[in-house]
Amino acid sequence: MKSALHLWGRLAACGGLATRLFLPVALLAQTSEFIADPMPTASCHASTVVETRPGELMAAWFGGAAEGRPDVAIWGARRQGGRWQAPVELVREPNIATYNPVLFRSADGLLWLYYKFGPSPQTWTAGRLFSRDDGRTWSAPEHLPAGLYGPIRAKPLVLTNGVIVSGTSVESYSSWAAWVERSTDNGKTWKRYGPIAPPRPSGLPPGQTHGIIQPVVVEIRGKHLRFYARSTPTIARICVSDSYDAGISWTPARPTDLPNPNSGIDVVRLKDGRFVMVYNHTTEGRTPLNLAVSRDGEHWTQFHALETEPGQYSYPAMIQGADGSLHITYTWRRLHIKYVNWPLRNVPQ
């Protein structure tokens, strides 16, 4: 470590160091660790993370023999005193797989866990439960009406007035589309807005899937919201859509310059107004896993690669903590959920 830091100092002293120089996580991050080792299941995926109180976290994910198997349940772990506690099973549906947990806190103080269950993403149903004690105990699961999903993979945006703006999506045969579900009463009732999708190009083969899913919503300024979404290989770019009325109406989706390999992303608007994205900067595969920063939410600069080795590093979740640092979780080769704490000082201006 000493020699690596010495090399960094010599490089910096030479001047002209590009902001895209990627350094090992160990040099820059306060923490980089597996949430559990070993994991309680053979396979795991699709993590989510929330700060329950300053300096304390909770993460959740789905795990079992393999994605889609009937034994797949929702698992969670709490981080206190700088250590992850042993994972516990949070939700199991009888003889059917669960998917994509999402943790977030509504304005009334409840900690919510939304999830999906069913044979596949084309046929799943949504469920949810809540906690009044920061995830120590949970309510009984509630199954939502058909067609209502809640946050489909990434955390929703909770506006300062308490309105929840949740990115969701539907995966149908040959057609994917994003939707937005919006609640003005802390999740008691919802209204859906959409579909939101890029135009389907002519000449696609019959049955070729095209569209976007899994949007993550951020506030650009005031009532101007934007979502960033995963896209199919027919697009291969992260797509965006804008709302200028706090999430009621949305522009048609359009591709950005950022590549996407049909894999999940997450975006955070920092307290200082900048934006940070965690995503796979490639059109094929799920490595590398990258961090990028933007001042306007439109133009992005890569500044670090969390993972570069062969394998799958995917489905990241990211929040900004009370101390300003970034808390990031992601799938590590489907064998682990990895946690990284990224200090704010290491996000380039």
Q: For residue 176, tell me if it sits in a domain.
A: yes
Residue with structure tokens 């380039």?
A: 348
pLDDT at 22: 52
pLDDT-derived band at 30, boundaries 50, 70, 90:
confident
- Please name the residue that has the structure tokens 């396979």: 43
Residue 20 lies in a domain: no
| Domain assignment present for 47 | yes
Distance (Å, whole) CA 243 – CA 258: 20
**Beta partners for 49?**
59
Per-residue confidence (pLDDT) for residue 154, from 0 to 100: 98
Judge whether 17 lies within some domain: no
- Whether residue 72 lies inside any domain: the answer is yes
- Rounded mean pLDDT of 164-183? 97
Residue that has been written with the tokens 């090399």 in this structure: 7
Average pLDDT, whole number, for the chain?
92
pTM of the model: 0.92
- The mean pLDDT of 20-31, rounded to a whole number, is 57
Rounded to whole angstroms, the Cα distance separating 18 from 31 reads: 24
Domain that holds residue 37: 26-346
Q: Residue 32 above 60 pLDDT? A: yes
Within-domain flag for 6: no
Q: Residue 194 is part of a domain; what is its CATH number?
A: 2.120.10.10
What whole-number distance in Å separates Cα of residue 281 and Cα of residue 259? 6
Whether residue 195 is preceded by a cis peptide bond, meaning omega within 30 degrees of 0, is: yes
**Angle at alpha carbon of residue 11, lines to 5 and 17, rounded to 5°:** 120
Residue 2 belongs to some domain of the structure: no
pLDDT value at residue 8 = 33
- Return d(Cα 170, Cα 184) in angstroms, integer: 22
pLDDT score of 327 more than 70: yes
| Pairing verdict, β 266-269 and 275-279 | antiparallel
In a domain, 19, yes or no: no
Question: Residue 176 pLDDT > 80, yes or no?
Answer: yes
Average pLDDT over residues 148-160: 98
Using the 8-state DSSP alphabet, how is residue 345 labeled? G
Q: What is the mean pLDDT of residues 160-174?
A: 97
Structurally, how many domains does the chain consist of? 1
pLDDT for position 17:
30
Residue-level pLDDT at 29: 56
Three-state secondary structure call for residue 12: helix
The answer, yes or no, to whether residue 257 has pLDDT greater than 80, is yes
Q: Which residue has the tokens 């994509």?
A: 100
pLDDT at 219 over 70: yes
DSSP-assigned states of every residue in 32-56? EEESSSS-SSSEEEEEEEEEEETTE
Tell me, what amino acid is at 268? Answer: V
